[in-house]
Amino acid sequence: MATGTLGTAATTTLTSLNPWTASTAPADVASIGIAILNDLNVNHPIFPGAFAQNGLLYVPNRGVLRVLPGDYVGVDPNGWPILVSKNSIAGSGWSHSP
């Protein structure tokens, strides 16, 4: 498994992990984690540990979300994390690559 793209049916511009499971490769989790940026600190934009192998997604300066198996985690071009549930991604409003 590797990173792919994620977006609404109109666009696919987000880098994403498709889908997350507890056995997702640590390198894939890390590639998403280092892409998540701190939107409130321009002097230190990287938000270390933003996405962990245990499925915790730390939204910079906002809080923590638990990623469940089958959910998709994406990052927009500004480094903002996007979490889409497995049930939502199965609908017709989303498109994604492997």
For residue 63, the model assigns a pLDDT of: 93
Nearest to 37 by CA among 83, 84, 68, 76: 76
For residue 76, the model assigns a pLDDT of: 85
Residues 8 and 16: beta-carbon distance below 8 Å: no
Low-confidence ranges of the chain (pLDDT < 50): none
Which H or E element spans position 25?
none
For residue 98, the model assigns a pLDDT of: 67
The residues, any chain, with a CB within 8 Å of residue 89's CB and separated by 6 or more, are 19, 71, 72, 96
Query: Pairing relation of β-strands 14-17 and 56-59?
Result: unpaired
0.85 exceeded by the pTM? no
